[in-house]
Amino acid sequence: MSTVTRQEIAKMIDHSLLHPTMDDRALKEGIELARKYHVASVCIKPYAVKMAAELLRGSDVMVGTVIGFPHGNSAVEVKVFETEKAIGDGAVEIDMVVNTGKVLSEDWDYVSREIAAVVSVTKKHGAALKVIFENDFLPQDKYKIRLCELCSEHRVEFVKTSTGYGFVKQPDGSYNYSGATPHDLALMRKHSAPGVQVKAAGGVRTLADTLRVRELGVTRIGATATESIINAVEGEASGTAPEGY
């Protein structure tokens, strides 16, 4: 089906363990699945970082978590505190949601200060920072382009499309999201410095999806259907992610 290896695909995956209804048992099962398949990292709810770090000690799976999640509305000082706490608990990757309201206000000084404040913490501790744009909330490319420029200026490690929870009202009145679209991924790769990687999150659910975004320059994905994606490399049968995860 593909010339890529299971290891190559596994090391693209941040196994997402963020759904609000996931209890401790579900989190532990998710951590063990991540260990089994040797993925890049688990991206786990902040209160469970310490547990994940303990369970993954000695493995090749990193621990990541989210900051200002999912809407990015926390004060800068709170995001800094969250980052310090997460790293102290064992996180080595930080996915921080940018302040969408400030982006839409084009208050770029504020946005720049926010990114700078958080990245100063991650670089001090040798952790990676991924800045989440929540592209579904940004109606024009100019916002995404400017965010890529700022992230490049501050030398963050990744720019990221979505939280997976950025629901917007659809024409039929329902709420849904587009997530990591090919257009946005190509745009983010084009306008980010070569040293800034691109993470696709939201809607990458199959091996075919993963290979498509890989061709666009994506090096990491946020996934819940991790097992089925990896097993599909060799055509193995597998289940699907639970609805809503």
Domain ranges for the chain: 6-234
What pLDDT shows up at residue 75? Answer: 98
Instruction: Say what the pLDDT of residue 240 is.
Output: 40
What's the pLDDT tens digit per position in 99-134? 999 999 999 999 999 999 999 999 999 999 999 999
User: How high is the mean pLDDT of the chain?
Assistant: 94
Q: What is the pLDDT of residue 11?
A: 98
Q: 210-221: per-residue pLDDT in tens?
A: 999 999 999 999
Catalytic residue, chosen from 130, 160, 184, 209, is 160
> Measured between alpha carbons, how far is residue 5 from residues 46, 142, 229 in Å?
31, 37, 12
Per-residue model confidence as pLDDT tens digits over 53-94: 999 999 999 999 999 999 999 999 999 999 999 999 999 999
**pLDDT of 234 above 90:** no
Is residue 160 annotated as a catalytic residue, yes or no? yes
Span 1-59, pLDDT tens digits: 448 999 999 999 999 999 999 999 999 999 999 999 999 999 999 999 999 999 999 99
Rounded to an integer, what distance in angstroms lies between the CA atom of residue 82 and that of residue 61?
Answer: 22
Using alpha carbons only, give the angle 77, 101, 79 rounded to the nearest 5 degrees.
20
The candidate with the shortest Cα–Cα distance to 114, out of 135, 99, 134, 93, is 99
pLDDT at 217: 98
142 catalytic residue (yes or no)? no
Q: Please report the pLDDT score of residue 239 as a whole number.
A: 39
pLDDT at 245 over 90: no
Between CA 185 and CA 148 the distance in angstroms is: 11
Q: According to the model, what pLDDT value does residue 3 have?
A: 83
Q: What is the pLDDT of residues 164-209, one digit of tens each?
A: 999 999 889 999 999 999 999 999 999 999 999 999 999 999 999 9
Question: Above 70 in pLDDT, residue 236?
Answer: no
| Stretch (H or E) spanning 132 | strand 128-132
Global pTM value: 0.93
Task: List all residues 6 or more positions away from 154 whose beta carbon is below 8 Å from its beta carbon.
Answer: 112, 115, 116, 119
Q: Which of 79, 102, 144, 199 is catalytic?
A: 199
Can you name the CATH fold of 6-234? TIM Barrel (3.20.20)
Q: Which of 14, 95, 184, 209 is catalytic?
A: 95
What is the C-alpha to C-alpha distance for residues 72 and 21, in angstroms, rounded to an integer?
A: 20
- At residue 209's C-alpha, the angle toward residues 207 and 210, to 5°, is 60
For residue 17 the two structure tokens come to 């363990």
**123, exposed or middle or buried, with CB in 10 Å at 0-12, 13-18, 19+?**
middle
Consecutive H or E run containing 91? none
95 is catalytic: yes
Dihedral through CA 192, CA 196, CA 197, CA 198, nearest 10?
-30
CB-neighbour burial class of residue 92 (10 A; exposed 0-12, middle 13-18, buried 19+)? middle
First to last CA, the chain: 26
Q: What type of residue is 149?
A: E
